[in-house]
Amino acid sequence: MELLQDAFQYYINNQSFFWNATRQHLVLSSFAMVISLLIALPIGIWIAKRTGIAQVVINIFNAFRVVPSLAILFLALPYLGLGFFPSLIALTVLAFPPVLINTYTGIRGVDAFTIEAATGMGMTKTQVMTKIEIPLAIPAIVTGIRIASVEVISSATLASFIGGGGLGDFITRGFALYDVPIMLVGAIPVALLALSSESFWSLFLRRYQVPEN
């Protein structure tokens, strides 16, 4: 309890620093998400109809997944230097696999009979994709986005290590000073952000889902 009080006190004393860090954290995470969606969604849709290429692409992105996010940050360091930009790249790469794989499996998972019915009724390939396959894959795609966003928000704390800023700054500072309350000022908001992103996408999915019975 005392720890929390100390943490709150630290927040009161460093309000502008805290809100600046939060803003950085959000900008970093959301930019990373938007960029990875812009790239991974079209690729996922494109490879869904090309099984041969799909395996290669998915394996490449899965390989990225095995590399820990911290390692990606430090791997980016020698090439991209310090600061916001390399952190953004690292987080974008991190968000790729869940979005890509869920888009791919979501579209592949659409019932073959449904597609045949649509084709047999005279829909063009594009109409089948935009009116049938993508809408039916939305639950899987959004699940991928949900997983990715939680991963990105929590991993964005690591950006602090290479000078990317964000709430991770409090954690690294608290760690260096051996001061737990300072660490909490970073850790608690990150946890809350991750949880609220998770609930936002869950709610979105529930609203999208077709009512049962």
Stretch that binds another protein, among 7-15, 89-97, 130-138, 194-202 (CB under 8 A): 130-138
Q: Single out the segment in contact with another protein by CB under 8 A; choices: 86-94, 113-121, 178-186, 193-201.
A: 113-121
Residue 130 is a binding residue for another protein (CB under 8 A) = no
CA angle 62, 56, 36 (to 5 degrees): 50
Q: Is position 123 an interface residue for another protein (rule: CB under 8 A)?
A: yes
| Residue 205 binds another protein (CB under 8 A) | no
**What minimum distance in Å lies between the beta carbon of 142 and another protein?**
13
Of the pair 2, 212, the CB lying nearest another protein is at 212
CA distance 162 to 176: 15
Query: CB within 8 A of 107, min separation 6: which ones?
Result: 44, 45, 48, 133, 134, 137
Picking from 187, 102, 105, 107, the residue whose alpha carbon sits closest to that of residue 148 is 102
Query: Between 139 and 189, whose beta carbon lies closer to another protein?
Result: 139
Q: Strand runs (DSSP E) across the chain, as ranges?
A: none
Which distant-in-sequence residues (6+ apart) come within 8 Å of 191 by Cβ? none
Task: Kindly tell me which residue out of 5, 55, 62, 124 binds another protein, with binding defined by CB under 8 A.
Answer: 124
Q: Which is nearer to another protein, 12 or 112 (CB)?
A: 112
Among 34, 69, 41, 59, which residue's Cα sits nearest to residue 160? 69
Residue 111 found at the interface with another protein (CB under 8 A): yes
What is the dihedral sign for C-alpha 128, 130, 135, 140?
positive
Binding segment for another protein among 17-25, 52-60, 108-116, 154-162 (CB under 8 A)? Answer: 108-116
104 neighbors 58 (Cβ within 8 angstroms): yes
Residue placing its CB nearer to another protein in the complex, 136 or 191: 136
Report how far residue 213's alpha carbon sits from residue 211's, in angstroms, rounded to the nearest whole number. Answer: 6
Convert residues 162-181 into a mask of x (bound to another protein by CB under 8 A) and - (unbound).
Answer: --------------------
**Interface positions with another protein (CB under 8 A):** 111, 113-114, 116-124, 127, 132, 135-136, 210-213
